[in-house]
Amino acid sequence: MQNKFTRLIKAWSKSHPFLDGKLVSRVNACSFCHTTTGYKIGEVAFWDISDMDVVQCNKCRQIQVDPMLTMDEVVDGCISGHALAKKLIPSRWFVKNNKREFRAGVRFVSYLESKGIRPKRIMEMGPGEGYFSRALASIIPGLEVMCVDADAQVAFELKRDHGFETHVGLAEDLSDLQDNQFDLIITRDFLEHLIDPAKAILNCYRLLKPGGYLYTLTPNGYQDVWPIYLRWVLYSERTDLNINHLNYFDAAALVEFMGKSGLTPVDCYQEGAKQFKKGLGWSFNPKYVGPPPERLPHREYVFDNENEFSSTVNEVLPKPRWLNNAFFRKLLSLRYTLWHVPKIKFSVDRQVGHYISLLNRKIS
């Protein structure tokens, strides 16, 4: 087993090292390169639904659970996870988080403007409470927004609270949506939850107009999988699946796959040094070990009615004067940008940085 010093050096290098694990045959092939072998680096439990291995592909380095969940299992787990969060987390936290999402969306508009990108029609996949896209719609006049989610309850709330066009379905199966219709597709904290993220990326390519953009934000897989990996290498024990994450991405491999899929890199990097500084991704300190599995009964976590735990939009959005005037919208954008402390950026070739941020363009 690697020690923390060799792991730290390898994570910082550009040599694309693998995590330590035994080479095994996979039940399901890698969704990116279809390799049928990989290094077993952990074991996880998904609610009371399934137990799985965590395997790093020995060809393309992407990390996925194996065997992969079925679509019904993913939908059940996601719905239960959404309901559990609504029950356990105080409503004031959702208001605070939604305000954070709105501010991030306003800053994202400034980022798009800096790249000369002015979308007229966008899609967000897995939009959560929808306030990131609400910010884009508030700042960009006449912007059309469609949101895709597997949870009908989430789709109901998005349409009720924001007036968005919604589509209930899985990102891997969007055959009923017309080709070449979006200027921008957004996937934030989304791809890691999918059964087949490679297929979802190919769907994004199909749905984008020529010249359209795909924006992806997803956790650095090496930091995200570290508690699972540590419990396995230190104690040979299983842990809970990390908040329904089925995939743990290698940034360079993800950029490479998108390029091969016709999505040319425009601005690709990893950001945030805080978690790496603490030790995630390289330290073998037992305090980073994931907890033993709880195997919660997923059928006990459901919404009682369609209006349960709904938040008030007025609690989140800034006062109307900030949104109803072009000059004040510019001031709002400047205000949110100045409040925000920029994160350190790293090359996608290193296994460093808390988040992977990718902007890719469909050329033709």
pLDDT digit string (tens) for 160-199?
999 999 999 889 999 999 999 999 999 999 999 999 999 9
Phi and psi torsions of 308, nearest 5° = -65, 130
Mean pLDDT in residue range 45-72: 95
pLDDT at 307 over 60: no
The CATH code that applies to domain 4-303+315-362 is 3.40.50.150
> DSSP state, 196?
-
Q: How many C-beta atoms surround the C-beta of residue 67 within 10 A?
A: 14
DSSP-derived pairing of the beta strands 208-219 and 182-188: parallel
Torsion of CA 252, 256, 261, 263, to 10 degrees: 70
C-alpha 343/C-alpha 27 separation (Å) is 39
User: Which of 13-17, 35-39, 73-77 is predicted with the least confidence, judged by mean pLDDT?
Assistant: 13-17
Per-residue pLDDT of 224-256, as tens digits, reads 999 999 999 999 999 999 778 999 999 999 999
Mean pLDDT in residue range 257-283: 94
Nearest to 203 by CA among 167, 176, 221: 176
